[in-house]
Structure 1
Amino acid sequence: MSLHNSLKGTGVAIVTPFKKDFSIDYNALEKIINFLINNNINYIVSLGTTGETPTLSREEQIEIINFTYKIVDSRVPVVVGIGGNNTNEVIHNLQTYPLEKATAVLSASPYYSKPSQEGIYQHYKALAAVSPKPIILYNVPHRTGKNIDASTVIRLAKEVKNIGGIKEACGNFAQFTKILRDAPSDFFITSGEDDILIPQIAIGMQGVISVMGNAYPKEMSEIVRLCLENKFAEATALNNQLIEACELMFCENNPAGVKAFMSEKGLLENVVRLPLISLSEANHQKIKNFLNK
């Protein structure tokens, strides 16, 4: 099943808003979902890393998925993040989480364990065998501690039927070009890096799964649209206006940076769950200064 048509463009890895008592703020989540859709994003990724998923209980994750379906109301596709370094647990979640309304599952490679390339291959093969939806690989080695090599991605793309694409965030253009060259033509390949999405799309990627899109959905959607229309000069001009915002958004941790921006825009309370903490006062002031320009 090709994801090219349904997921081409701008996806947003949506944050999980919390109240001051650290409970989930569903009113804010509804506001954010509508803000994203009304500002032209193409799809939503629920329970990604930006959603602080490791701090959410299983019950909370299921509630968030169902709530997201309800508010989205089929206006855009929803991708659900389900990953981990316990393959059997990920399999159980794929079999029991409400995925009927999802377009695909985004699954980060096993973190911390640092499996071999064969181990990564077998992990994803096991997930694909039980997943009711296509699996999108997520390669983010600066978080997981292990790269999914281009050869492993190509092997999965060609040999495992239910592997539908990859979100690439390894920062290595040699790897990107190998995957784009050798993957099947219907294999979905999208950026996972806001700061380099323009050159990634220029060499053939189909869009981005964005963090910045939480705070700047209209701008990020326009940048990606322009790139996909080969209007790279116009895309770059717009992107240049957001370079400082991007640097501030990732200066300490994700999603503390983007939540600081969103709190200043009145979208949520500036609250994250431990082990993350809110942005330092000095950097938060820089965000205020940027927004007041």
Structure 2
Amino acid sequence: IRFESRVRQFVPADKQFWISNASLLLPGAAIGANGGGMMLINVAPKECQEVLRLVMEGKLAEAQTIQTRLLAPDHEILRHGAAGIKAAMTLLGYEMGLPRRPSPPCSNADVEQIRKAMDTAGLLPKS
């Protein structure tokens, strides 16, 4: 975040300044990011948007609560790359294909870890 903390001063206020890592969404917004492009936004768009909005409104404690909840699923999904996001989206009910070669699909154990992280974070639909 050292680099990002210096970028905002060179980006006009009317231009987008995005953070690209969901784990850094709150600190990114705190240094002036007003958007994001990250894998987790596919899985938790409302939560990511809410973190940004709350930080921009100065409600850091509320934003931190959501950010903390998103850390485990972000880690579990991202560590598997495209296969992780495909597994997460499948858990949300979307039909996803296999990742392109040479990336292998997630194992059943990997999918279960992603499912647990998403469930704990409240990102899975209620049964």
Q: How far off its partner does 1:292 sit?
A: 4.6
Mark the runs of 5 or more structure 1 residues left unpaired by the alignment: 1-171
Higher helix share: 2
Higher strand share: 1
8 Å contact kept, 1:226–1:234: yes
**CA distance in structure 2 between the partners assigned to 1:201 and 1:270 by the alignment:** 33
Q: Look up the equivalent residue of 1:266 and give its one-letter code.
A: G
**CA distance in structure 1 between the partners assigned to 2:21 and 2:104 by the alignment:** 22
8 Å contact kept, 2:25–2:67: no
Q: Look up the equivalent residue of 1:256 and give its one-letter code.
A: A
8 Å contact kept, 1:180–1:189: yes
Q: TM-score, normalised by structure 2?
A: 0.81
Does 2:32 match 1:222? no
Q: How far off its partner does 1:176 sit?
A: 1.9
Q: Deviations over 1:229-250 (max 9, x none)?
A: 1211101101211211011011
Change (3 A) 1:206 1:292: closer
8 Å contact kept, 1:193–1:210: yes
Does 2:91 match 1:264? yes
**CA distance in structure 2 between the partners assigned to 1:285 and 1:185 by the alignment:** 42
Rg comparison, structure with higher value: 1
Q: How far off its partner does 1:270 sit?
A: 4.8
Corresponding residue for residue 207 of structure 1: 35
Alignment length (residue pairs):
120
Change (3 A) 1:203 1:284: same
Q: How far off its partner does 1:288 sit?
A: 2.6
Corresponding residue for residue 59 of structure 2: 231
**CA distance in structure 1 between the partners assigned to 2:41 and 2:6 by the alignment:** 28
8 Å contact kept, 2:25–2:36: yes
8 Å contact kept, 1:263–1:270: no
Q: TM-score, normalised by structure 1?
A: 0.38
8 Å contact kept, 1:189–1:206: yes
